[in-house]
């Protein structure tokens, strides 16, 4: 792992990372407990008391006031004025934090989330633990797919490392109509939108910021070469207003067996019964490949009634599909 410090790249050794992790853990223990001895900390982290004393010195140098109390019952403690009152978070606050972090832990693995969850839980007073646990369990947010691309998780880990170290990423990208191009990208943000993961980065091939869908990547690799971050351009993720101007409503007739799937794209108010087992639907539509593919995905359980030119285009596409099976 590397960071940029005073314009220079500093590489962290495994021992450095273990020490940082131990220092953070000691701070959390001191925030949670009134006082703890050097030997107890040494036993907990499986290091010598001398190492613990050096860790306490490092924490003090970082600006966190740790006092050493001598004698029986003595030990280390953080000045009371520095501690955060656990009551600063309400039960609703803690429940919301735990739900959000738990939902991410389903899809993003790593020590950071484990530690973050532990830190939030350390703020839960014992007398409110059951109440907060009940609130958290009332809502389950699982962002991971039922099935899907098995490369997404390892790709997320590679991108996270590249983001932390300002390293270039290279990959093959499959765009529209199956066009495959080699890309080298400066990574700036991981985006989860509509159950799909994306990378927002500066593409050195297009000389501009682009949003890349992870499921369309192949052979993703982090390069040795680092880059100097440029002014970041956030991706446009809200297309509601633009879609309203592009969308039109078409009339389709569907069988009730695909009603649940059609409801993924419109509301129940758009349905009106047509006989015992069919419905007429005012369906939102844009004349592009994506929306034609949606209609085709309903198979023989969906008929486009109007407008005429979209019905005619559907007939053409169905004819082209049927011709593939003539021989």
State residue 240's pLDDT score: 60
Beta-sheet strands, E only, within 71-216:
75-78, 167-174, 180-193, 196-203, 208-213
Say if 142 falls within a structural domain: no
Contact 95, 111 (CB under 8 A): no
Q: Which of 37, 55, 82 is the last residue of a domain?
A: 82
Residue 214: per-residue pLDDT = 92
Distance CA 4, CA 167 (A): 11
Average of per-residue pLDDT values in the chain: 81
Residue 143 belongs to a domain? no
Let me know if residue 249 belongs to a domain. Answer: yes
Q: CATH no. for residue 160?
A: 2.30.30
Contact 22, 14 (CB under 8 A): no
Q: Within this chain, do residues 119 and 189 fall inside the same structural domain, yes or no? A: no
The answer to the question of residue 236 being in a domain is no
Q: Could you tell me what percent of the chain has a pLDDT over 70?
A: 76
Condensed to tens digits (0 to 9), the pLDDT of residues 158-170 reads: 998 999 899 999 9
| pLDDT, mean of residues 196-222 | 92
Residue 70 sits in a domain whose CATH number is: 1.10.10.10
pTM passes above 0.75? no
Q: Does one domain contain both 319 and 245?
A: yes
Residue 198 lies in a domain: yes
Whether residues 285 and 303 share a domain: the answer is: yes
Indicate whether 5 pLDDT > 50: no
How many domains does one find in the chain? Answer: 4
Please give the residue range of the domain that contains residue 103: 86-137
Quickly tell me which residue has 């495994």 as its tokens: 14
The answer to whether residue 183 scores a pLDDT higher than 50 is yes
């Amino acid at each position: 792992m590397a960071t940029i410090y005073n314009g220079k790249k500093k590489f962290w050794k495994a021992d450095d990372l273990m020490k940082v992790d131990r220092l953070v853990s000691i701070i959390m223990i001191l925030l949670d407990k009134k006082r703890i001895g050097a030997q107890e900390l040494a036993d907990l982290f499986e290091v010598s008391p001398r190492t613990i004393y050096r860790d306490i010195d490092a924490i003090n140098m970082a600006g966190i006031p740790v006092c050493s109390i001598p004698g029986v019952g003595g030990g280390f403690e953080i000045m009371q004025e520095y501690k955060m009152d656990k009551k600063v978070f309400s039960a609703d606050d803690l429940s919301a934090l735990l739900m959000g972090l738990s939902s991410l832990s389903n899809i993003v693995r790593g020590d950071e989330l484990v530690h973050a969850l532990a830190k939030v839980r350390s703020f839960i007073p014992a007398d409110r633990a059951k109440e907060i646990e009940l609130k958290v369990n009332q809502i389950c947010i699982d962002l991971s797919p039922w099935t899907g691309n098995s490369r997404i998780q390892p790709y997320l880990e590679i991108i996270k490392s590249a983001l932390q170290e300002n390293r270039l990423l290279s990959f093959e990208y499959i765009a529209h109509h199956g066009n495959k191009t080699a890309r080298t990208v400066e990574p700036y943000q991981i985006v989860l939108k509509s159950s799909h993961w994306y990378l927002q980065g500066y593409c050195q091939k297009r000389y501009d910021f682009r949003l890349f869908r992870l499921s369309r990547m192949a052979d993703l690799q982090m390069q040795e070469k680092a880059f100097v971050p440029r002014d970041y351009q956030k991706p446009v993720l809200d297309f509601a207003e633009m879609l309203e101007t592009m969308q039109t409503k078409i009339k389709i007739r569907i069988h009730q067996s695909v009603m649940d799937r059609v409801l993924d794209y419109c509301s129940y108010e758009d349905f009106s019964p047509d006989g015992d087992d069919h419905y007429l639907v005012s369906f939102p539509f844009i004349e592009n490949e994506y929306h034609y593919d949606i209609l085709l995905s309903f198979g023989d359980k969906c008929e486009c009634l109007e407008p005429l030119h979209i019905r005619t285009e559907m007939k053409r596409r169905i004819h082209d599909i049927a011709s593939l099976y003539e021989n």
